[in-house]
Amino acid sequence: MALAILFIPISDALVKWLGAELSVGQIAWLRFVLQTLFIASLVFLQRRLVGPIRWWHGVLGLELSGAILFLYWGLQYLPLANNIVIFFAEPLLLLILARLFLGEQVSWQRWVAVGVGLSGVLIVLRPNWSLYGVMAILPLMAALCYAAFMATARAFQRDSAVSPSSLQFWVGVWAILVLGLFLLIGGQQDVALARWSWPELHQWGLLIGIGLLAAFSHVLIAMALSLADASLLAPFQYLEILGASLLGWWIFGEFPDQLTLLGGAVIIGSGIWLFLHERQLARSNLDLVN
């Protein structure tokens, strides 16, 4: 899990670097194409069958496309670490969506964690808003799309046994279709996010690196989840902020300001407390059953 999470900021750094030469929509589309090809190759080498396609795979593909598009768009304006810190509002937004649309019970301790965590998001947004304007909201939109993706997956996987590789493959296929349609329509309207230019050789190298890192990270996370509880592994995702901070400083000369560090600490603290609370609650329920 730690290895997977440390690979993700490298992929984001490559996207930020490549974004100066190619459109965000094109990078996101090619990322899904390459990632899906890598996953299909892995499934073939393991001699497994991809499960049947479901209609809700399309919903997941749309939500994940939005998350990646907003996240990559934000990388073109915000420092690497700032973009990731704001995106980590996702677990808190997921809790809200789970309550509103899945009918899950939310204790007052969870609401406190959400309130504290979102206050951390506001702390981070304040200086970023003054520097980058409305673009500071882009990673927050990415977090909302990804929270919707997680809530949808949770809702439909309750009644449908789907392997991780099958889910990733079909969601990737739908994301390719969604972003391809976006590029087609947006390109005709000359939308900057959807402009297409044929990548040069060095750009193909970066794109392949982005796709490989994305696929490899997903496989490692799936392996980790098969060996340990999600509540145990979840806090490791905050290593991404450390990796993003170091890469932002090393490659782009960026370093989070004091308010970003403070807001990030509040978000991380509330998230870890929430994970620990969920783990303790699960243990208590297990004890009651036994």
Q: What is the pLDDT of residues 43-66, one digit of tens each?
A: 777 777 777 788 888 999 999 999
Spatial contact of 263 and 85, defined as CB atoms under 8 Å apart: yes
Spatial contact of 28 and 172, defined as CB atoms under 8 Å apart: no
Place 70 in a pLDDT band, splitting at 50, 70 and 90: very high
Of 10-19, 96-105, 242-251, 261-270, least confident by mean pLDDT is: 96-105
* Residue-range definition of the domain harbouring residue 170: 2-289
CA distances, 183 to each of 215, 258, 269 (Å)? 22, 38, 39
Spatial contact of 21 and 202, defined as CB atoms under 8 Å apart: no
Q: What is the pLDDT of residue 157?
A: 65
Q: Which of 165, 167, 159 is nearest to 60 (CA)?
A: 167
Place 231 in a pLDDT band, splitting at 50, 70 and 90: low
* Residues near 216 by beta carbon (within 8 Å), at least 6 away in sequence: 4, 7, 38
Spatial contact of 53 and 289, defined as CB atoms under 8 Å apart: no
Q: What is the pLDDT of residue 208?
A: 92
* Residues near 140 by beta carbon (within 8 Å), at least 6 away in sequence: 86, 87, 89, 121, 125
User: Which tokens go with 140?
Assistant: 């927050």
Tell me which amino acid residue 54 is.
Answer: R
Q: Which of 251, 235, 203 is nearest to 79 (CA)?
A: 251
Using DSSP's 3-state secondary structure scheme, residue 200 falls into: coil
Q: What is the pLDDT of residues 1-39, one digit of tens each?
A: 888 888 899 999 999 999 989 999 999 999 999 989 988
pLDDT at 274 over 80: no
Percentage of the chain lying above the pLDDT 70 cut: 91
Residue with tokens 């932002």: 248
Q: What is the pLDDT of residue 203?
A: 94
From the number of C-beta atoms within 10 Å of its C-beta (0-12, 13-18, 19+), residue 124 rates as buried
Using DSSP's 3-state secondary structure scheme, residue 48 falls into: coil
Bigger pLDDT: 256 or 185?
185
Average pLDDT over residues 163-175: 84
Q: What distance in Å separates the CA atoms of residue 78 and residue 84, rounded to the nearest whole number?
A: 9
Q: What is the pLDDT of residue 159?
A: 53
| Cβ-based neighbour number of residue 43 at 10 Å | 17
Question: What sign for the dihedral angle of Cα 19, 24, 28, 34?
Answer: negative
Q: What is the pLDDT of residue 238?
A: 80
Place 162 in a pLDDT band, splitting at 50, 70 and 90: low
Average pLDDT, the chain: 85
Q: What is the pLDDT of residue 263?
A: 87
Spatial contact of 140 and 86, defined as CB atoms under 8 Å apart: yes
Question: What sign for the dihedral angle of Cα 95, 102, 167, 210?
Answer: negative
Q: What is the pLDDT of residue 183?
A: 95
pLDDT at 290 over 80: no
Q: Which of 235, 267, 261, 266 is nearest to 248 (CA)?
A: 261
Spatial contact of 166 and 51, defined as CB atoms under 8 Å apart: yes
Percentage of the chain lying above the pLDDT 90 cut: 31
Total number of domains constituting the chain: 1
Q: What is the pLDDT of residue 117?
A: 84
Spatial contact of 113 and 277, defined as CB atoms under 8 Å apart: yes
